[in-house]
Amino acid sequence: MKRLLFATGGMALFTLVAFGCGPRFKAPNLANGDKVKLDIVIDRNASDPGLSESQVKQRNQVGDFMENNIVQMAVNAGFEARAINTREGFKPGQDKYLLIVKITDYNPGSKAARMLVGFGAGSASLSTHSDLYATLDNALLSQNHQISSGRDWTFCVRALNEETLKAVAEHLSSPGTK
């Protein structure tokens, strides 16, 4: 039994080392060694009158997970990141940016269908719109992201967070785009 556990643990370690366990992007490097500051607002878009009580609860659950995950992912990539509640809480400054991610559509899918049927049945889907600001006037970067997956909703959130932050890091790393 110990050999089986060791072999399994060794394979997991090999997988992490070979395929990476961190983000596939890095925050831009500043000349003075400081980190780029990133304030993040997650707009759950849960006040839409067309949403049922259950949908509002789901949006808030997704938003809470998304907020924690994107901040941690940004910190791991080298940003100095924090979540703020509203865009009004952002104070512009040198090498400081505001990222607003709005949940535009969310469908949790059906876990039972994913487990019993497979082949994409019961897929969870998530769509977001993100804007990056240096000041509150004009967005430096504005993008839509969408994913559908036969895995669970947390996979969708993680994938879109990574896609969003990668786009931000690439934009801020490009010469003359700040």
- Domain positions in the chain are 33-173
- d(CA 176, CA 164) in angstroms, rounded, equals 20
pLDDT digits (tens, 9 = 90+) for 92-120: 999 999 999 999 988 876 554 444 444 44
In the numeric block, the tokens 């809470």 are attached to 64
Q: Please check the confidence at residue 44 and state whether its pLDDT lies above 90.
A: yes
Contact 37, 95 (CB under 8 A): yes
* pLDDT, averaged across the chain: 81
- Residues 96 and 39: beta-carbon distance below 8 Å: yes
Angle between helices 153-173 and 53-77 (to 10 degrees): 40
φ, ψ of residue 150 in degrees (nearest 5): -80, -5
The third-level CATH classification (topology) of the domain covering 33-173 is Rossmann fold (3.40.50)
pLDDT tens for 148-168 read: 887 778 999 999 999 999 999
What is the secondary structure of the chain as a DSSP string? Answer: -HHHHHHHHHHHHHHHHHH-SS-S--PPPPTTSPPPEEEEEEE--TT-TTS-HHHHHHHHHHHHHHHHHHHHHHHHHT-EEEE-SSGGG----TTEEEEEEEEEEEE---HHHHHHT-TTTT-EEEEEEEEEESSSSSEEEEEEEEEEESS-HHHHHHHHHHHHHHHHHHHHHSTT--
Both tokens of residue 100? 């607003």
Nearest to 99 by CA among 22, 43, 45, 155: 43
- Examine the pLDDT at 9 and tell me if it is beyond 70: no
Taking the complete model, does pTM exceed 0.75, yes or no?
yes
Mean pLDDT of 78-89: 95
pLDDT, position 31: 84
pLDDT at 109: 67
End-to-end CA distance of the chain: 56
